Structures are given as C-alpha cells and as structure tokens.
C-alpha cells in the first residue's frame, strides 16, 4: 500500500460540497519517440484471472464470475490487495470500481500504478471513506523518482457506491491524465525541459488495496472505523489496458485488451486534451476540487513547485 500520506492535505476534507453538475467525456495527447518502433498490437479480452494476482488478505480478496469480477474486503484483522501480472511502461488504463457502501469512514481504497525501489514512480487514485451520506473524497498524486507531494483532491459528483464507475489513467511520454467516467479531472504534463521529473523510465504495475487508515483518512483521523459495519467490500470489473508491456528483456511492446479490435489501439501514445476536454477539466477543478498543492503557499513557503506555473 502507498506510504505517502500526510495530514497537511487532508485537513481540507471538511469543506462544503460543491453543487452537482454533469459532465460528458473526451481526452487526447502528443508525441512518443523510441517506443513507437517497438509497437506490436494485440487484442485480447481483459480477465482478472489472467491479468492480476491476489497478493495479500488471506482469502479476503476474491476473483469471481469466471474472472470478470474481483472483490476486496477489509475487516478488523486485515485488508486485502492485488497487483497486475504485467508491468507497463506507458498505457491507457481503465478500471471500473464500485466503492464501499454505507459508513466507510476510516477505510481507503487505493488503485494506482507504481514501480519499486527508493526512487520509485507512482500514479495514484485513492478513495477516502466517509460517514454515510457524506461524499467520497478522491485523492490523486504523482510521484517521480521517489518524490511526490503533488496532491489534488476532489469530491465526486455522484454516489460511487451505487454502481460501477470508470477510473482511467492515461500515461504517455508527454502527460498523465486522470479521468472519471471519461471526464478528465487532472493533467500532469511532462515538464522535464524546466527541471521537473516525469515518470517515463521505470515500468509500473497496477496495484489496488482496501485497508484501514483511520488515523488520517476521514476528517484528519477524527472519525474512526466502525468495525460493526465490517466486512467492508469494494468491487472491480471491466479492466481494460491499451499499454506497453515491459518484458524480461527490458523492452516493451504495446498491446490492447480492448474488446473492440477496430479502434486504433496505439492512438493514446500521442493523445492530448482537446479544447472540449480542457473545458471539462477546468469545470471539474472549479466545482469539485477541494485541495490543490499548487495553491498551498503555506506548505511551500519558499515558492510553489515549478510545474505549478505551467498548468
């Protein structure tokens, strides 16, 4: 599970909920270099039995429905988690999640990409549980070469426990785009030209876990997990990855497990946000963002991170 939490950015979780609005979808991005020469397009159907391994939880994680559904559970003794069979170096990755219903205070459902080592890269979705009726908080972060501190948080504009919703990470050599049901909510650009590290050299696996974090997760740790509501369960389905798979020879080839073999499977390698997607992203950030590290002058008294002036 990620080990990068601080209370600085979680104190914002007590804010008022913005007004609801609906959003359509779309993304798009630019350029790729050496990997293009390694492209091999393959189309297969995503299946949890083939694409993932349960890594911990002593039976609390289950793959069901012939590999089409995966569930993670948490009780007072333990949480649970899984990881992808493959490592990826760039990808356009979708997963549908249905989050813990009811009183989920104290729990965290983490879904993220990560490499290993002391200078790891990481791209995070984390869902911070809350009291019944309160909104889930979606926490995002980007690590490069072991450095994070790039948190943005959002209220979701729907009930993420009532049905499955799609959470997507577009990661190519030029940018990382976080999307919810096709609506971009955050973009992190490659700004190596001004000295900002960008994740592009280390292959990453997909990870997910459901675990107890009541020391910080809900209202800064003031609300504790109610174990009488356990077990807490999150569900996953419809995994889809158009991605460059890293192999033992330390090279990558790009493939798709999309059911539609007609779509241009490598278009994501040069995708950028068009004007419509940029407008939707601004709308989400205006109406639903509750914390942005690029607006936290108290946290960065010596000056905001370089990328904050280039968003």
Residue-wise pLDDT for 10-20, tens only, equals 333 333 334 33
pLDDT, position 310: 86
| Nearest Cα to Cα of residue 241 among 257, 226, 221, 264 | 257
122 is catalytic: yes
Non-local CB neighbours of 286 within 8 Å, separated by 6+ positions = none
- For residue 266, pLDDT over 90 is answered with no
Write out the two tokens for 228.
């009488």
Write out the two tokens for 200.
């592009």
pLDDT, position 24: 41
307 is catalytic: no
**Least confident window among 43-52, 212-221, 266-275:** 43-52
- What CATH number does domain 38-310 carry, 2.60.120.200, 3.40.50.620, 3.40.50.740, 3.40.190.10? 2.60.120.200
Output the pTM of the full model. 0.84
- For residue 23, pLDDT over 80 is answered with no
Active-site residue identified among 126, 151, 187, 307: 126
Helices (H), 52-169: none
Q: How confident is the model at residue 161 (pLDDT cuts 50, 70, 90)?
A: very high
């Amino acid at each position: 599970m990620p080990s990068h939490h601080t209370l600085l950015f979680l104190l914002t979780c007590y804010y008022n909920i913005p007004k609801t609005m609906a959003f359509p979808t779309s993304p798009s991005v630019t350029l790729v270099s050496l990997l293009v020469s390694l492209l091999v397009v393959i189309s297969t159907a995503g299946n949890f039995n083939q694409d993932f391994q349960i890594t911990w939880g002593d039976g609390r994680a289950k793959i069901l429905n012939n590999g089409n559904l995966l569930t993670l559970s948490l009780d007072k003794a333990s949480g649970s988690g899984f990881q992808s069979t493959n490592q990826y170096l760039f990808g356009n990755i979708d997963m549908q999640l249905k989050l813990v219903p009811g009183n989920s205070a104290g729990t965290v459902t983490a879904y993220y990409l990560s490499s290993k080592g002391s200078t790891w890269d990481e791209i995070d979705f984390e869902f911070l549980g809350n009291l019944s009726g309160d909104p889930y908080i979606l926490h995002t972060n980007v690590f490069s070469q072991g450095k994070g501190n790039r948190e943005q948080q959002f209220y979701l504009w729907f009930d993420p426990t009532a049905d499955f919703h799609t959470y997507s990470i577009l990661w190519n050599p030029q940018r990382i785009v976080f999307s919810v049901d096709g609506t971009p909510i955050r973009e992190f650009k490659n700004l190596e030209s001004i000295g900002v590290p960008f994740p592009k050299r280390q292959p990453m696996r997909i990870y997910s876990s459901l675990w107890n974090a009541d020391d910080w997760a809900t209202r800064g740790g003031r609300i504790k997990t109610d174990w009488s509501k356990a077990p807490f369960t999150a569900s996953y389905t419809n995994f889809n990855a158009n991605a460059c798979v890293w192999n033992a020879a330390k090279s990558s080839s790009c493939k798709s497990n999309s059911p539609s073999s007609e779509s241009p499977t490598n278009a994501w390698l040069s995708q950028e946000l068009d004007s419509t997607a940029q407008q939707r992203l601004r709308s989400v950030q205006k109406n639903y963002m509750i914390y942005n590290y690029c607006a936290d002058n108290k946290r960065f008294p010596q000056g905001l991170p370089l990328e904050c002036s280039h968003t």
